[in-house]
Structure 1
Amino acid sequence: MTFQEMIQSEKPVLVDFFATWCGPCKMMAPILDEVKKKVGDNAHIIKIDVDKNPQAAQVYQVSGVPTLILFKQGKVLWRQSGVVPARELERLLQSNA
């Protein structure tokens, strides 16, 4: 499944735009793992390295990392930069599932 196909789906898709050199991005990794365990198959969580995919970062105007964007049926429902607590992400994904 391509990125475009995935964000068009009925399931919410949380995209983490990150960089390997970014400290706060490293803090997000275990948070996203925890959220994935809680929401299971109700949502997709994917990571996009902005250095390897500058085009995707440009399309969604990601200027700082980490930036989290929630998509559903191709629409951006929410976006936030910086480290976001697991509880907030869980609530967000469950309310949009």
Structure 2
Amino acid sequence: MKTLTDTSFNEVVTSPKPVIIKFEAKWCQPCKAMTPIMLEIEKELADQVTFFSANVEHCSLIAQRFKVTQIPALLAIDNGVVTAQKTGAAKKSEVLAWIDLALPSLRQS
């Protein structure tokens, strides 16, 4: 996962592929539990989706922009538009189902 900062957000906007941003913090245990799950999913979907990790302590502007008030949080962006947001820890199967719903362009490819 690429690390996202307030100053590197342009990478999200200009991404040719849909984007998933995982908002997290180092002290958050559910966030830590989600990391290996997200890394597995990233490997599976690497050719279709770009994955970013955003530490809310270093990306406060981005977190505020998308009204992230609970972590872990996942944000799906397709063609520059936020299509879905999910909060809380989840199993791999739940995250994959959410991505399928959040990024309809993946079903068309």
Do structure 1's residue 83 and structure 2's residue 92 form an aligned pair?
A: no
Look up the match of 1:9.
Answer: 15
RMSD over aligned CA atoms reads 1.8
Closer/same/farther in 2, CA of residues 5 and 33 from structure 1, 3 Å limit? closer
Look up the match of 2:105.
Answer: 96
2 CA distance for matches of 1:31 and 1:51? 22
* Aligned-residue offset at 1:12: 1.3
Q: After TM superposition, where is structure 1 displaced by more than 6 Å over at least 4 residues in a row?
A: none
Look up the match of 1:25.
Answer: 31
8 Å CA contact retained: 2:15, 2:50:
no
* Aligned-residue offset at 1:95: 4.2
Which region of structure 1 is more displaced relative to structure 2, 84-93 or 46-55? Answer: 84-93
1 CA distance for matches of 2:89 and 2:49? 19
Specify every segment of 5 or more residues in structure 2 that has no aligned partner in the other structure, as ranges. 1-7
Look up the match of 2:64.
Answer: 58
Specify every segment of 5 or more residues in structure 1 that has no aligned partner in the other structure, as ranges. none
Q: Deviations over 1:17-70 (max 9, x none)?
A: 101100100011000011011112110111000001111111111111111000
* Aligned-residue offset at 1:9: 3.4
**TM (normalized to structure 2)?**
0.77
Count of aligned residue pairs for this structure pair: 96
1:61-76 equivalences under 5 Å are 61-76=67-82
Q: Which has the higher contact order (CA 8 A, sep 6+)?
A: 1
